[in-house]
A and B are shown apart, each in its own frame.
Chain A
Amino acid sequence: MKTSEKSLAGWYFLGGMIVIYFVLAFFKLEAVIDALFFVGRIFKTVLPVLLLIFALLIFFNASVSHEQISNFIGKSSGGKKWVVAVMAGILSAGPIYLWYPLLRDLHKKGVSHGFIVTFLYNRAIKLPLLPLLIFYFDWKYALTLLLVMVVFSLVQGVIFERIKF
């Protein structure tokens, strides 16, 4: 995909979604209104996360050089990059897709695909929701699941380190 096509792809996608909403509205207007309210609630939830990501982008662009990123979480930074990927993934908040712009920016600065997939996999671990998982299942199950997920996130990261893109 050429750069100009790539930059337009997002607008085509958004345009397509708006057309789908219009078409659905012809058949089920009430459901579309429900969907729009749902979308509104999502926007309310993601706005603080978007601000956090904006702040992180400024921080990385203003005060962290490509070399520093490369040394700390870059391709040849060794074991510590995996620890950072796991911890950052677990601690990060909000929907996964909000983190894509920041991760792409970091990738351009030397962060590996392995780091990105490990970070994204660990985003699935939500510590604030742990009590709820324990409530629906039990604590032995919840802890086992979380630990197994961390291990598999690292396996996925290592696999992606070996793939050439």
Chain B
Amino acid sequence: MQCFKNAAAQSAKILFNALPVLVGVILLIGAVSVFVSPSGFARIFSQNIFWDSLLGSALGSVFAGNPITSYILGGEFLKQGIGLIPVTAFLVAWVTVGVLQLPAEIVFFGRRFAFLRNGLSFVFSIAVALTTVLIYSHL
């Protein structure tokens, strides 16, 4: 019983210490979600596969929220003639790169880890998009 009490106290302390960062990130996501709309960015895609893939990844990295939103936006981007590779890069970056969560990630894991993980995930979002579309087009 004492062991459980100690574990509960230790765990409560861990969560309490994490709380200001978690609340801060939620406030940041709330502000960006209301003040900036990703759908407005559709017009800056240029039909250049390289540039559009970078742009898709960048947009996906900056915005956060439920992946459902990214599926809906991705579907809209496809309807507007944007290629499947940039749209896939956008979907992948949305869920793997977290610019808005970066302050929290830095606090918990350190600057080097956070920048490396997000930087690599950004590059990987384009690599995943290329690989997926390459395989998909042969199925």
Question: Interface on A for B, CB 8 Å cutoff?
Answer: 6-7, 9-11, 13-14, 16-18, 20-21, 24, 28, 31-32, 34-36, 38-39, 42-43, 46, 50, 53-54, 57-59, 61-63, 96-98, 100-105, 107, 113, 116-117, 120-121, 123-124, 126, 129, 132-133, 136-137, 140-141, 144-145, 148-149, 152, 155-156, 159-160, 163, 165
How far apart sit A106 and B18, CA to CA, in the bound complex (Å)?
Answer: 15
Residue among A43, A103, A137 with the most chain B CB within 10 A?
A137
User: Could you tell me if B105 and A100 are in contact, using CB atoms closer than 8 angstroms?
Assistant: yes
Q: Hey, which chain B residues are within 8 Å of A149, CB to CB?
A: 92, 96, 128
User: Could you tell me if B15 and A57 are in contact, using CB atoms closer than 8 angstroms?
Assistant: yes
Is B34 engaged at the interface, CB distance under 8 Å to the other chain? yes
Is B49 engaged at the interface, CB distance under 8 Å to the other chain? no
Q: Hey, which chain A residues are within 8 Å of B48, CB to CB?
A: none
Chain B binding surface SS class: helix
> In B67-126, which residues have CB < 8 Å from any A CB?
67-68, 71-72, 74-75, 84, 88, 91-92, 95-96, 98, 101, 103-110, 112-113, 116-117, 120-121, 124
Tally of chain B residues near chain A (CB < 8 A): 64
Is B46 engaged at the interface, CB distance under 8 Å to the other chain? no
B30–chain A nearest beta-carbon distance, Å: 4
How far apart sit A124 and B124, CA to CA, in the bound complex (Å)?
Answer: 13
B97–chain A nearest beta-carbon distance, Å: 10
